[in-house]
Amino acid sequence: GENVEQHPSTLSVQEGDSAVIKCTYSDSASNYFPWYKQELGKGPQLIIDIRSNVGEKKDQRIAVTLNKTAKHFSLHITETQPEDSAVYFCAARTQGGSEKLVFGKGTKLTVNP
């Protein structure tokens, strides 16, 4: 089955700096890669996603890149703000069958003012 590795587990940056979180996946059949943000005491919320037929996707300060050959994808947050502080999860899903999402273990991002 699919296995998703996420690094780093914790990340601390200064306000205004960029933050990068990386994930690798094992199943080459996976074709959908979402990123979730989880604030304290809340459920995860989708912030951006990418499909395997696209190499990069951007939404304001957030971007995701995908390298299918290397089977890794990354979340980039530019001009970080204190409200970006949260736990971020990557996930991968294989098309067809049960279409289950497999999650990475999460990255706790702290943006220091």
Partner 1 sequence: NAGVTQTPKFQVLKTGQSMTLQCAQDMNHEYMSWYRQDPGMGLRLIHYSVGAGITDQGEVPNGYNVSRSTTEDFPLRLLSAAPSQTSVYFCASRAADTQYFGPGTRLTVL
Instruction: State the residues that interact with partner 1 by CB under 8 A.
Output: 6, 9, 32, 34, 36, 41-46, 49, 89, 98-106
Shorter beta-carbon distance to partner 1: residue 78 or 102: 102
Rounded distance, CA 22 to CA 78, Å?
15
Residue 11 buriedness (CB in 10 A; 0-12 / 13-18 / 19+): middle
Q: How far is the CB of 86 from partner 1 (least distance, A)?
A: 14
Shorter beta-carbon distance to partner 1: residue 1 or 113: 1
Q: How far is the CB of 81 from partner 1 (least distance, A)?
A: 23
DSSP letter, residue 2: -
**Inter-residue contact 49 to 36 (CB < 8 Å):** no
Q: How far is the CB of 102 from partner 1 (least distance, A)?
A: 8
